[in-house]
Amino acid sequence: MARLRARVHGGDIYSAARELKRDPTEILDFSASINPLGPSPQVWKAITASRHLLNHYPDPNCWDLRQALATFWRIDPEQIVVGNGSTELIEALPRALGIRRLLVVQPTFSEYAAAMVRAGGQATALFADRSDQYAIPIDRLCHVMEAGRHDGRSIDGVVLCHPNSPTGQACSAEDVARLAKATRRRGIWLVIDEAFADYCPERSVLPHAASWPHVIVLRSMTKFYALPGLRVGFAVATHTAIRRLQRQLPPWSVSAMGQVAALAAVSDTVHAQKSLRFMARERERLRTLLAALPGCVVMPTYANYFLVELPRGWHARDITEELRRRGLLIRDCSSVPGTNLRSIRLAVRTVQDNDRIVRSISHLLLQGAS
Ligand SMILES: Cc1ncc(COP(=O)(O)O)c(C=O)c1O
């Protein structure tokens, strides 16, 4: 059985700034995949207009935000729970649902396994194949869920990151529905992390999750809505599952400004459309530039980042370190179980930033080759 360990994350501009004796805002961060257009202009207005809320506790029920999310997704607000980032919900899930043995589809975000272990349970892995460009192994997964067993032992939970990080892969909404059906037969919990699904809405199953027993969909306001500093995420599931999850959360875990900003963000469909159009264009441009780097392999993606394999002979750790010295952060994926040592993840940022990272990588590869 493959045992999984906790890993480091991207987005730590503070440590890099301290090391380089620079201001954190001077660090160019490709290691966290945040909408390069930034938060909606409505978010700035809403925060400014809500300054008076700072001397009150936040709404412990996140009432207004849940109403807005429910209207947006056409579901019952009682089927939504908001957390201090989706990370808080990931942490609470094993205890809330009584999961003891979780199957994680790897390579993926490390916190599912880490949270499971912290809750006193075990995490086991089902690996996507590199030879298949890490496509989600949907048939194998269905088979495992129907059997209710993996590696000779029973499982009571499965987590699927969809689209997956760091690989960028996603399957169709119909395939996810197949998993939801398989889960029903065995009563295994299926957690679908849709932190990046805003970039491929046709592959999301969010509204359906409200009526699927044993399925929880997680969403984040961090990535597409560009609010990583405010920490807001939410889960959608049946009434019973949401109540169980809610009971595991500490009171007031979502700040007043987080609630105000998230509400303004989901209400601004103009900024959302602009962000999607930008990403569709810029992602293709960056893909072409990266694919033109000699020896680099660029994986397909449904999200706002690319998993890239460096040319043979290179180690992801070395190039990550070299770029860091230049104030450029990328995600070294060499330690993510299931990827190879040449794997890095790059967020799609602005045109200017993307040109800069490609130039810098190209320069380092040429230097190394000479
Ligand atoms: C796949 C995935 N899910 C969830 C999270 C947690 O996001 P947050 O807690 O900011 O909502 C992350 C953060 O990097 C992630 O990559």
Cβ contacts of 119 within 8 Å, gap of 6 or more: 94, 95, 99
Measured in angstroms, how far is the CA atom of residue 162 from the centroid of ligand 1?
12
| Three-class DSSP category at 103 | strand
Question: How does residue 4 score in pLDDT terms, banded at 50, 70 and 90?
Answer: very low
Dump strand ranges (E) for the chain: 28-29, 80-83, 101-106, 122-127, 149-150, 153-154, 157-161, 189-193, 215-220, 233-236, 297-298, 305-309, 328-329, 331-332, 343-347
User: pLDDT digits over 188-198, tens only?
Assistant: 999 999 999 99
Question: What stretch(es) of the chain map to CATH 3.40.640.10?
Answer: 41-268
Atom of ligand 1 nearest to the CA of 164: 1
Q: What pLDDT is stored for residue 369 in this prediction?
A: 67
- CATH no. of 13-39+270-369: 3.90.1150.10
Q: Is residue 5's pLDDT more than 70?
A: no
The residue length of the chain stands at 370
User: pLDDT digits over 246-301, tens only?
Assistant: 999 999 999 999 999 999 999 999 999 999 999 999 999 999 999 999 999 999 99
Averaged pLDDT score across all residues of the chain: 95
Give the other-Cβ count within 10 Å of 216's Cβ: 26
Arithmetic mean of pLDDT, 223-230: 98
Q: Is residue 133's pLDDT more than 60?
A: yes
pTM of the model: 0.96
Lookup: tokens for 106:
């790897």
Atom of ligand 1 nearest to the CA of 228: 10
Q: Which residues have any ligand 1 atom within 6 Å of their CB?
A: 9, 85-87, 109, 161, 165, 193, 195, 220, 222, 228, 233
Question: What stretch(es) of the chain map to CATH 3.90.1150.10?
Answer: 13-39+270-369
- CATH no. of 41-268: 3.40.640.10
Atom of ligand 1 nearest to the CA of 222: 10
Give CA–CA dist 255/216, Å, rounded.
Answer: 23
Cβ contacts of 231 within 8 Å, gap of 6 or more: 84, 85, 87, 88, 222, 254, 255, 258
Residues of the chain with pLDDT > 70, as a percent, come to 97
DSSP labels, 46-90? HHHHTGGGGGS---TT-HHHHHHHHHHHTS-GGGEEEESHHHHHH
Q: Is 120 exposed, middle or buried (0-12, 13-18, 19+ CB in 10 A)?
A: exposed
Q: Which of 306, 368, 357, 358 is nearest to 329 (CA)?
A: 357
